[in-house]
Chains A and B, each alone.
Chain A
């Protein structure tokens, strides 16, 4: 009896569903059939605006978690979360020095769900800075920047810089002590480039100091200009992933032709097309080497994973937001800097370098680092083992050794500088000498010599790139740790548990 009515109910529901999906209106919105066969699955991805950025079929290698660690999509989902929470925060936040801080307090204490949204926005922002950086590391170590993906790497570096700038501009908005002094310190670095420095700082702040002008400028950059620019660059970035033939992956079989060699060479001229647009002869460089047998439909193999990663990202952000409140200190007080005044953590490595020489540490090193990182694919374009972590065993060992070398050399240089630094030996050395002889410069020169030696010894530019990138990474991590945990009042060396100032 029960059973009968159960099936009756079910069949009624499914008849209703069938009727709905067969209406003219439904078919005008969803153009494909139920994705229960490969054709409709590919149609689902192909005809859907939100999914069409994905290929209709993906290679199984691309789906392995170890291939990408999902970092690009995690960064993307954090960006989505930031947009949603950020737009909601805009409903209460007024970018005025008289109101901003009170609006923060209101969000914290009297607006329903305000504190959780604020926390989510703050922690997702930090998470995005981290995710983007680690995404860059994964792309580097899997050698995924090699032709034809050189330019997408450059776009990635642009996204990285924009992401940090987006986070930095948001940092001022609460208008508390932490915000005010972090931006005062951070924007002072902008004044150091020779000739242009003061002009840049003046333009950025809309005044000589951090005040109403700066708050409004940072606000406009933070809620309008940077998100729009990032969205546009991101669109190109993702589009290029597709056009470059999907994610980089190891070539099948030993001695396979280099992917680009198939372009226009006509050796894939079987006239066979399969799927929908999974293959369109000769348009993308990597097409020729795709072995159809290694592919599955993106729906559900890729779409489902994306769904899970999205829910997981949201869960992680919510969990952190429940555990830790975003900091909100006393209202900004331009006459009383907290001691120490620290920039956001992702700039503390820089701030450490800046403490030796603002010009070298704040302008030349970061400038060269960004430029150098951008140029990697134009220096190392060897078609060696793309999509393989560290290229080879040798590469893996080199990566570990060089990052260790970079990490260790930082404290050594700092100690040397404290003992035999230029100013300790020659108290009134001219500034130009200090700019030339200091740990930051030493680090830079050391890395350059080290990596060029690796290239000479091994004859492999890839290994040279690994040496350079890894020593940079090791040094950056240690510098950031020192800046965060080992610098106290007056930027004096302290042990982490002796820290007094707050900083995030």
Chain B
């Protein structure tokens, strides 16, 4: 007693008599309170995590127009800097290849002239050929090719969400 004066344990100590008076036990009040309070604290916590995932984005749309086909010289590789992609125009037709390195998303370098030209990523040195295949370096997979279509006003149109195989050509 000398140590535990003022101890609310006393209430529990006197439980036997107290219990008959108490319609709801201390234990159940506390557990209701704790469960409900945790719901109302963890709940908003989870809702706040949901809040961090925006429903709308202010990014450039994934579908966009390029130039007119005639503006790409025959047998050329054009680099569309803003869109980070290459447009190949060869005897089979047009293709659009991503210039985003599959390693860590740097923009890969330009292709040199000539048949066996390659593109090197400046960040960690991955080397790609004109089919997008990885020749060396840390890149885990080939560069993507996107579907090309023609827009109503006669320009090439790309959707970067629409990935196609490397031998899919668009013919004018």
Contacts and interface: CB of A to CB of B under 8 A. Distances in A.
Nearest 7 pairs between A and B by C-beta?
A113-B51, A296-B6, A113-B47, A112-B50, A110-B56, A110-B55, A311-B37
Given A106-B56, A314-B40, A315-B40, A37 B9 contact: yes
A111 B6 contact: no
A435 B164 CA distance: 79
14 contacts: A37-B3, A37-B4, A37-B7, A37-B9, A39-B3, A110-B54, A112-B50, A112-B53, A114-B51, A116-B47, A297-B7, A297-B8, A300-B8, A311-B37
Interface string B7-47: 11100000000000000000000000100010011000001
A300 B37 CA distance: 17
A38 B40 contact: no
Contacts of B53: 112
Contacts of A307: 37
A297 B6 CA distance: 8
Contact of A113 (B4, B9, B40, B48): B48
A36 interface: yes
Nearest to B36: A311
Interface of B: 3-9, 33, 37, 40-41, 47-48, 50-56
A3 B144 CA distance: 64
A111 B55 contact: yes
Contact of A38 (B7, B50, B52): B7
A66 to B, nearest CB: 20
A100 to B, nearest CB: 14
B55 A301 contact: no
Interface string A305-330: 00110010011000000000000000
Interface residues of A, number: 28
Nearest to A116: B47
A300 B8 CA distance: 9
Contacts of A314: 40-41
Contact of B4 (A38, A91, A111): A38
Contacts of A88: 48, 51-52
A36 B10 CA distance: 11
A216 B61 CA distance: 30
A111 B3 contact: no
A300 B33 CA distance: 15
A91 B52 contact: yes
A301 B8 contact: yes
B8 A296 contact: yes
A393 interface: no
Contacts of B54: 92, 110-111
A267 interface: no
Nearest to B7: A38
Nearest to B55: A110
B65 to A, nearest CB: 26
A91 B51 CA distance: 10
Contacts of B7: 37-38, 296-297
B59 to A, nearest CB: 14
